[in-house]
A and B are shown apart, each in its own frame.
Chain A
Amino acid sequence: MSFLTEFLAALIYGILAGGVYALIAVGLSLYFGLMGIVNFAHGSIVMLGMYAAYYSFTLLGLHPYLSLVLVIPLFFLFGMALETGLFRFMYKAPHNNQFLLTCGLMIVINNIALTAFTANTRTLQIPFLEAGFSVGGIVISYGRFLAFLVGVVFYLLLTLFLRKTMVGKAIRASAQNREGAKLCGINVSKIFTYTFGLGIMLAGLAGLLILPFSGAYPDVGDTFILSAFIIIVLGGMGKISAAFWASLIIGVAEAMGSTFLSSGVKYLFPFLLFIVVLLFRPTGLFVRRT
């Protein structure tokens, strides 16, 4: 393979992966912007999404993409339940305690998964999704391509939702100024519940999209959460469009790294990038320095 094809292949794979990362990071960033909570358990929700898709295929015979109809409402409700049952009680706590509480939640969710689903890696083989089409010698699997498409569609839907609907506007208003939104008659505590539900729903959806090309195991969320943190820090915490573009950047950077760097360094690459970004652009690439 020539250098140019390798480069293009890495670029395409990176963008495709970035579209899925975007769902994880955008959800995390969405409720961070509103509630100021950095949720360590977000990656575990992605893991649950993967298992949900896996079991709706093996037990109910639903095609992974059809299980959307199950996963979306289920995770939305789950997110709302988490907010009302747990997160609601920690808004006034110090930030460090909030962060550690979500770490505790991650431990609980991961170990419930370990107990319920065992440590075995679960993979789903769907012949159609594993097949692919070729563009100029670069083979792209349908699974990855569709995942990217669905990811982008949901991102656009979310943007539209936030811009055009009343609830969306209320979410943005509450994120800008909580007290002001309250004074305008917005039920901020309800908005928190919905927003958290949305974020969790997107994470579950991401899990479903990832499953066809990546195995599910109880700790799989750790890798996603680290990538998601890198993305939202790179983009600037709390801005969802920034999180989207940063996802594509990180996706491409990882793909480039794994194509052109030796095996040891390629895993280090995202973290080095992360540290450099945090040190020199702690407010993110897409947010103006104040």
Chain B
Amino acid sequence: MKNQIIKTLLGLFVVALLCWLPFLLGDYYLYLLVLTCLNAYLASSWNLIGGMGGQLSLGHAAFFGLSAYASTFLFQKFGISPWAGMWFGVLIAALYGALIGLLCFRYQVKGTYFALVTLAFVEILRIAAVHLKTFGGSEGIVVELKGHSWSAFQFETKVPYYFISLVMLAALVLVINYFRNSRFLSYLKAIREDEDVAYALGIDVFKIKFWGLVLSAALTGLGGTFYAQYVLYIDPPSIFGLTRSFDMVFICIMGGMGSIGGPLLGSVVFSAFMEIANTIFKGGYGAAHLILYGILLMVVILVFPRGLISLFNKHTSSE
């Protein structure tokens, strides 16, 4: 009983803090905070199939990008509000995920092979985006400013963006947490541990992996539209580049693959690390912060293969 009260109070405190935060911080830090939320959201989406399902996808930039391009295209050409275009983007991302899932899982493409195929599926989109002039070609698309309004998904300050990204993240994390012992997620984890055993136990491996990927793709797509509306500029390298997929995976593995809190922790560490490294090496050191980032990543993988979250909680690190 006492524990319950303390937990509730703590929860309320965190919510209050998160709501108060944007008014405390300057514009720049708020900008970072939104990206941190978005990264945590994307990593959580990746975590569904990549961490919990153990299918190492390096192709999530495809879902992110398809949705970003789709909603932006509809917005620019037909004036359709991103709030509606977002769902169209999610649909396209889910369909592309279904295509990949259908082909790969039907033909038993697993492990590193799966990672390589998904990589190829993104490269195809990147090359297509570079060559299709309708979608901006290699110059990309600058999202037109259509006045600050909710319907245009454009706001004067960054505060609304912050709350949108926070709600997206919180909703996703709470839903995953609520269903953490559900049949679907348990099946996914069983497949990660040993696919043959899962199959022998009567789990429809194809179906579970397929829907896991589609769900993860759809969720990633939602993040893609948000990114396009937030940064207001999309081009092939920033959307479909290797780093886009890698970031989701790396944030997840740094925090802890397969755990619910892992992506959150990973995203905070990622943002904080990049910010600190950027400040230290400001100017004159080239890409020193990225070298350090790579080193940090390797160290975490070698020393904490279950992610940094295993430091805090030894039991739930990778349920």
Contacts and interface: CB of A to CB of B under 8 A. Distances in A.
Interface of A: 38, 86, 89-90, 93-97, 99-101, 103-108, 111-112, 114-116, 118, 222, 226, 229-230, 233, 263-264, 267-268, 271-272, 274-275, 278-280, 282
B305 A107 contact: no
Nearest to B124: A271
A89 to B, nearest CB: 6
Contacts of A90: 301-302
Given A103-B297, A263-B131, 7 more contacts: A90-B301, A108-B298, A111-B286, A111-B287, A275-B121, A278-B109, A278-B117
Contacts of B250: 100, 103-104
Contact of B286 (A114, A230, A264, A282): A114
Nearest to A263: B131
Interface in B299-319: 301-302, 305
Contacts of B85: none
**Residue of B108, B123, B298 contacting most chain A CB atoms (<10 Å):** B298
Contacts of A274: 116-117, 120
Contacts of A99: 56, 112, 115
B290 interface: yes
A99 B290 CA distance: 19
Given A115-B288, A264-B127, A268-B128, A97 B305 contact: yes
B297 A226 contact: no
A115 B115 contact: no
A118 B284 CA distance: 11
B266 to A, nearest CB: 13
B302 A229 contact: no
Given A93-B305, A96-B54, A100-B249, A38 B112 contact: yes
Interface residues of B, number: 42
B41 to A, nearest CB: 21
A58 B226 CA distance: 48
Interface string B98-136: 000001100111011101110111011001100110000
Given A86-B298, A264-B131, A100 B253 contact: yes
Nearest to A112: B291
A91 B294 CA distance: 20
14 contacts: A99-B112, A100-B56, A100-B250, A100-B301, A101-B298, A101-B302, A103-B246, A103-B250, A103-B297, A114-B286, A271-B124, A274-B120, A279-B107, A282-B109
B242 interface: yes
Nearest to A103: B246
A238 to B, nearest CB: 12
A100 B266 CA distance: 15
Given A86-B298, A104-B301, A96 B113 contact: no
A229 B116 contact: yes
A86 B116 CA distance: 23
A237 to B, nearest CB: 9
B164 interface: no
A267 B127 contact: yes
B295 interface: yes
A233 B117 CA distance: 10
B31 interface: no
A243 to B, nearest CB: 15
Contacts of B285: 115
B293 interface: yes
Interface in B151-192: none
B120 A275 contact: yes
B127 A268 contact: yes
Nearest to B243: A107
Contact of A114 (B127, B257, B287, B302): B287
A271 B290 CA distance: 28
Contacts of A112: 287, 291
**Residue of A101, A103, A222 contacting most chain B CB atoms (<10 Å):** A103
Contacts of B302: 89-90, 93, 101
